[in-house]
């Protein structure tokens, strides 16, 4: 009897040792820092999103989230860096609609079917803004001026051939008129031109204008989405004003975590779970609301369908607007 007990104990000990050895052969993911490549300069919305996640990852998972800025080519440089990285889960990118727009226009090469989409970080519906106390009291007064003077009411946009320009063009089409587009190098320059009286209005992200709105230097005339903005509840959607700006599809300004093709299914699931939990934290929710972001951390097939719809809208914009 004693021998059988000793044998049983020995068997348990040996089994535990073997299991420990097996576990030691392959460390649990993640076991080191994760790099998030931000394809824009420091200080922009996407950069601030990534940095807002750093303390959350440290607190919840004891994982260092390293933010690496790799700007250039309208985000193509940084995203290419991610797509060519080792698919081990330790290099991910904070991609956005800007990159999808480049692919839709043939300005960047990427097989979107092979990209590993991890988690939606946030949507940032663009808004139409004008100078407070200026010529336009609301969206309708600006639209009326554009209808009376087609092609003369100027609208500043950061860059060109992007979501901002697409929606402003669609608003003009819905109103039966045209705007004069004036592209600038970044949202801050657009704001400067509006405040200086050199540009009538601008189409920008809420995070780019929220400080000037709070200081009453700028006013938001309308938002280009269907649900409005929690951070600006009194701002009407253009749909509510009677202007259909969705004729080309569901064009959205969205940012999401992606990884190179070939990522292990287990690592992908773990990354999606971690980012979703971090984005649902009180700290990130507070950051998102303060910045005018719409945080909706979807993953898996739901995310793939969402991004496919966005791409279709951008592809339509490429054919119908940007190619003109």
Domains annotated for the chain, with CATH where assigned, are 34-124+253-322 (3.40.190.150), 127-223 (3.40.190.10)
Residue whose C-alpha is closest to residue 161's, from 115, 87, 109, 98 = 98
Q: List residues bridging with 219 in a β-sheet.
A: 130
Per-residue pLDDT, 16: 42
For 156, the token pair is 């500043």
Dist. CA 60–CA 270, nearest whole Å? 14
Residue whose C-alpha is closest to residue 192's, from 210, 175, 209, 170 = 209
Per-residue pLDDT, 265: 95
Tell me how crowded residue 160 is: count the other CB atoms within 10 A of its CB: 13
Is the separation of the CB atoms in 127 and 222 below 8 Å? yes
Counts for the chain of helices (H) and strands (E), in that order: 11, 10
What is the DSSP annotation of 141-168?
HHHHHHHHSTTTSEEEEESSSSHHHHHH
Q: How far apart are the first and last CA of the chain?
A: 90
Dist. CA 236–CA 214, nearest whole Å? 17
- What does each of the 324 residues of the chain score in pLDDT, given as a tens digit? 434 443 443 344 334 444 444 444 568 999 999 999 999 888 888 999 999 999 999 999 999 999 999 998 888 899 999 999 999 999 999 999 989 998 999 888 888 888 999 999 999 999 999 999 999 999 999 999 999 999 999 999 988 888 999 999 999 999 999 999 999 888 889 999 999 999 999 999 998 899 999 999 999 999 999 988 888 899 999 999 999 999 999 899 999 999 999 999 999 999 999 999 999 999 999 999 888 899 999 999 999 999 999 999 999 999 999 886
The secondary structure element, H or E, covering residue 129 is strand 127-131
Tell me how crowded residue 189 is: count the other CB atoms within 10 A of its CB: 15
């Amino acid at each position: 009897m004693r021998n059988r007990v000793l044998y049983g104990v020995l068997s348990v000990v040996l089994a535990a040792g073997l299991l420990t050895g097996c576990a030691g052969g392959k460390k649990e993911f993640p076991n080191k820092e994760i790099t998030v490549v931000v394809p824009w300069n420091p200080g922009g919305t996407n950069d601030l999103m990534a940095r807002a996640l750093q303390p959350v990852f440290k607190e919840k998972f004891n994982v260092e989230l390293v933010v690496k800025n790799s700007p250039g080519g309208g985000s193509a440089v940084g995203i290419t860096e991610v797509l060519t990285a080792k698919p081990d889960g330790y290099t991910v990118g904070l991609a956005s609609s800007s990159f999808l727009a480049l692919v839709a226009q043939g300005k960047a090469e990427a097989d979107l079917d092979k990209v590993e989409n991890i988690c939606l970080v946030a949507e940032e519906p663009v808004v139409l803004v004008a100078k407070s106390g200026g010529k336009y009291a609301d969206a309708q007064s600006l639209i009326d001026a554009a209808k009376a003077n087609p092609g003369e009411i100027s609208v500043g946009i950061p860059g060109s051939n992007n979501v901002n320009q697409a929606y402003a063009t669609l608003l003009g089409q819905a109103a039966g008129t045209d705007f004069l587009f004036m592209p600038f190098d970044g949202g801050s320059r657009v704001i400067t031109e509006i405040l200086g009286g050199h540009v009538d209005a601008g189409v920008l992200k809420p995070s780019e204008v929220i400080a000037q709105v709070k200081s009453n230097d700028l006013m938001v005339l309308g938002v280009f989405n269907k649900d409005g903005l929690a951070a600006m509840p009194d701002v009407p959607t253009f749909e509510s004003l009677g202007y259909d700006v969705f004729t080309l599809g569901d064009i959205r300004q969205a940012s999401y975590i992606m990884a190179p093709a070939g990522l292990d299914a287990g690592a992908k699931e773990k990354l999606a779970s971690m980012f979703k939990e971090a984005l649902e934290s009180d700290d990130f929710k507070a950051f998102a609301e303060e910045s005018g972001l719409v945080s909706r951390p979807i993953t898996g097939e739901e995310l793939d369908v969402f991004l496919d719809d966005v791409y279709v809208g951008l592809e339509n914009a490429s054919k119908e607007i940007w190619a003109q």
